[in-house]
Amino acid sequence: MALMITDECINCDVCEPECPNEAIFQGEEIYEIDPNRCTQCIGHFETAQCIEVCPVDCIILDPQHPETDQQLRAKYERLTQAA
């Protein structure tokens, strides 16, 4: 699954630079994650880096975008080929 940021986000700015896929961006009120770019860091790291650095634990699995690890890896492959 892609990740999402809940409204508990405090806009601390630490997650955005950690995302290797540039999926995190400043939304109207809080940071948001583009599900088309989020791979939970599969292909880059062992764990999702945004979750690792978030001080308020407001990054969760996005139930609106269910994906298997295989689908996330395929997305990673697609994103890195375009780069």
SS3 (DSSP) at 32: strand
CATH code: domain 3-82 is 3.30.70.20
pLDDT at 83: 55
How far apart CA 28 and CA 76 sit, in angstroms, is 27
Residue 38 contacts residue 23 (beta carbons within 8 Å): yes
Tell me: the pLDDT tens digits for 29-78?
A: 999 999 999 999 999 999 999 999 999 999 999 999 999 999 999 999 99
Q: What is the pLDDT of residue 1?
A: 86
Would you give the distance in Å from CA 71 to the centre of its chain?
15
Condensed to tens digits (0 to 9), the pLDDT of residues 5-19 reads: 999 999 999 999 999
Is 24 in a helix, a strand, or coil?
strand
How confident is the model at residue 34, as a pLDDT? 98
Instruction: Give me the pLDDT at residue 82, please.
Output: 59
